[in-house]
Structure 1
Amino acid sequence: MLAKLAYGSRYDRVPWSQRVYVRPAERLFREAQWRWLTGRSPVVPLDAYQRVRPLGRIEEFLSCMMCGESRQQPLYEPAGGDGWRYHVVRCPSCGFLYRNPNVRPERLGDLYATGYNTFLTGGYAANRQRRYDLTMKAFSPVFDEGKQRRLLDFGSGAGLFLELAEQRGFDACGVDLSAESVALANERLSRARTYFGAPGDVPEIAAGGFDVITLWSVLAHLPRPLEDFHRFRSLLAPGGVLLILTVNARSLLLKAYGSKWSGFTRNHLMFYSSQTLRTLLGRTGFAGVAFAPHYGDTVEAGTTKLPAELTARLRRTVDLSDGGNMMRALAFADEEAIGRWGGGPHRIHRLRA
């Protein structure tokens, strides 16, 4: 309502996902709104938090995975039309956002046991391969040529990315927790193959030696990220890289829409910013990371209906706020990887354990 009063109908034709990036001064307003929210929301000890929150049959209470802080700052309560609901808290020490209570690792497969492949191949999948292609271009030349290079797609779903990896010549394989999706992917693929389970369950994957590992919209689904990233680091060959695409916890859309943010989906467990991702990578043995800002698929593909002036304003807003709705990162296993792949346009952040 406040935006309507301030701007009238001038921006009504701008898609809701772009309005907060193009309306004058809205970035400053949303960032002030975020500071107000985090400044006024109470911080409570974990034991007090547990007393007022119900615990589902597949859930457990957590302390912060990034820094170990046990206090909680409750912020959001996302909910869906099919009855799901959960609570999102912020770590008052490092700012990490996560679902609490969270899903127990041994019950993670419950979220993907049935029907997930329908989601992956429905409306969600319509523009997925375009997004993969745009992200690969953003980190060129890492993905330009795959010949004689091994690639693991972790959380490979219905095989949409592995299909592109095949076309680029990679010796590619994938792993996923949805048996239905694995079967669908293997029907789709000609040379690559996907497997059901965790990397350690598959000898061909557990042996490691991968030049590239990709996590397409997977990071937010991991209940034990430190354990998983130690494993990813061990699976990479010298000079290897890890690609991450995930929702961005610094998104201006999150600051604007709160519990109704599109990043709060039924199966998402943890929500990273560029800062908390650096913490995760540094603690698990990676040498560096580069980030490519995400302006939106239509903007990057050149198909947006925004006028040139508003397109330029959107790009500036994303750059100034680190507030794109998605976060794209390329993590380097070691100094050899930085030397081989770090010559692109994006700044490399050196990491420390």
Structure 2
Amino acid sequence: MVSAKRAVARAVFGSRYDGVPWGQRVYVRPGERYARELQWRLRLRRAPIMSLEEYRAGVPLGEIEEFIACHLCGESRQQPLFRPSAPGENGAKGWTYTVVRCPSCGFLYRNPNVRPERLGDLYAGNYSSFLTGAYAENRQRRYLLTMKAFAPVFDEGTGRRLLDFGCGAGLFLELAEGIGFDACGVDLSPDSVEQANARLAKARAYFGSPQDVPEIAAGGFDVITLWSVLAHLPRPLDDLTRLRGLLAPGGVLLIFTVNARSLLLKAQGSAWSGFTKNHLMFFSADTLPTLLRRAGFAGVAFAPFYGDAVEAGAAQLPPRLLRRLERVVAATDGGNMMRALAFADEEAVARWGGPMRVHRLT
């Protein structure tokens, strides 16, 4: 039996998009982009704005959590928008949290958030089984596609130092050492670090934070990478300021994270795939420059994310729909992930920014 929602969609769009994966339909169906933007504006108009004190009174606080104000602008008022949740599996406890929007700068974040000293609690147990399981399928393909998007930064690593912050099981470090980088990584999951070191030939992974490892804390890195890490940081300004201090003159920081401007977020709401158990902060091309500027970076460049299958030439879409998807993503910055390259200083902009559109942050 066809649901009422699907029947309406067929009446409007016809059945010719039935073979298109749902996650791609918002980019290829005529008018869908505008419908989702209208849906987003209506959500913002209807969501209440309240003081932090009013918000605290109605939201439970977990053992490892704390209430926070906006990390970008300091605004304490809250606009609750989403309530993502998931049931527990195999006897594990389910989870739920609230995502709020800053009414001043538009930043999306989880509130209450995880206290920094309890961040490791999110990665206790056999977290590496997740990193090397279904999540890791085609992960190195994603790395290669993003490295290509920011060429020539990753064309040749010989004689250059690289730090992978949040290196997990070492899937990217394996690629980095393969193109000549003097590479190392850090992670808060001890079993992931163990697996990474078993995988690597020359690169090395360490458990803990950069300041815990003398050879990392000394800095001098040409490249630092954050692959799906930024959303996990409870104090992103503190972390990015420290990472900026670890970069050598002319150095760059690569960021790959979920995109808070995603059309899928606007379509799916609380069910969006970017709202996962361990995600805390949700940036976009509107809010990330503020964070980078405050952390001391000189510029940033963005590369639209069309999807792994699309960029690898494996998408099962007719050419007409493929071109439409690319146009919509580029026009709205509405891809499900965000890719950015931050430049430490003007030397970095001069060295690497030539083929990119660099937004100055000073």
TM-score in same-fold range (> 0.5): yes
Runs of 4+ in 1 over 4 A off after TM superposition: none
Other structure's SS at 1:55 match: coil
1:31-73 per-position Cα deviation (integer Å, ceiling 9, x unaligned): 0110111111100100000000000000000100010000000
Matched, 1:351 2:361: yes
- Correspondence for 1:114: 125
Q: 1:69 maps to what in 2?
A: 75
- Structure 2 unaligned regions, length at least 5: 89-93
Does residue 317 of the first structure (1) align with residue 328 of the second (2)? yes
Q: Which runs of 5+ in 1 are unaligned?
A: none
* Counterpart in the other structure of 1:237: 248
Counterparts of 2:279 and 2:210, CA distance in 1: 20
SS in 1 for 2:96: coil
Percent identity over paired residues: 72
Shift of 1:8: 3.3
Question: Residue by residue, what CA displacement relative to the aligned partner does 1:184-241 show, whole Å, maximum 9, x if unpaired?
Answer: 0000000000000000000010000000000000000000011001101000000000
Q: Does the alignment pair 1:261 with 2:272?
A: yes
The CA RMSD over aligned residues, in Å, is: 0.7
Q: CA deviation at 1:115?
A: 2.2
Count of matched residue positions in the alignment of Structure 1 and Structure 2: 351
Question: 1:303 aligned to 303, 311, 314, which one?
Answer: 314
Matched, 1:221 2:232: yes
Equivalence for 1:33: 39
Say whether 1:284 aligns with 2:290.
Answer: no
Of 328, 332, 335, the residue aligned with 2:343 is: 332
1:46 matched to 2:57? no
The match for 1:14 among 17, 20, 29 is 20
**Distance (whole Å) between structure 2 residues aligned to residue 261 and residue 74 of structure 1:** 16
TM-score by length of 1: 0.98
Q: TM-score, normalised by structure 2?
A: 0.96
Return the alpha-carbon distance in structure 1 between the equivalents of residues 288 and 155 of structure 2: 25
Instruction: For 2:283, give the aligned amino acid.
Output: Y
AA of the residue aligned to 1:349: H
Q: How far apart, CA to CA, are the structure 2 residues paired with 1:195 and 1:328?
A: 25
State yes or no: 1:60 paired with 2:66: yes
Summarize the alignment of residues 154-193 of structure 1 with structure 2, pairs less than 5 Å apart.
154-193=165-204
| Residues in 1 aligned to 2:18 and 2:103: alpha-carbon distance in whole angstroms | 37
In the TM superposition, 1:87-106 aligns within 5 A as 87-106=98-117
Q: Partner amino acid for 1:271?
A: F
Number of the residue aligned with 1:3: 9
User: What secondary structure sits across from 2:359 in the alignment?
Assistant: strand
Provide the rounded CA distance (Å) in 1 between the counterparts of 2:9 and 2:263.
Answer: 15
Cα offsets for 1:85-144 (capped at 9, x unmatched): 000000000000000000000000000011210100001101100000000000000000
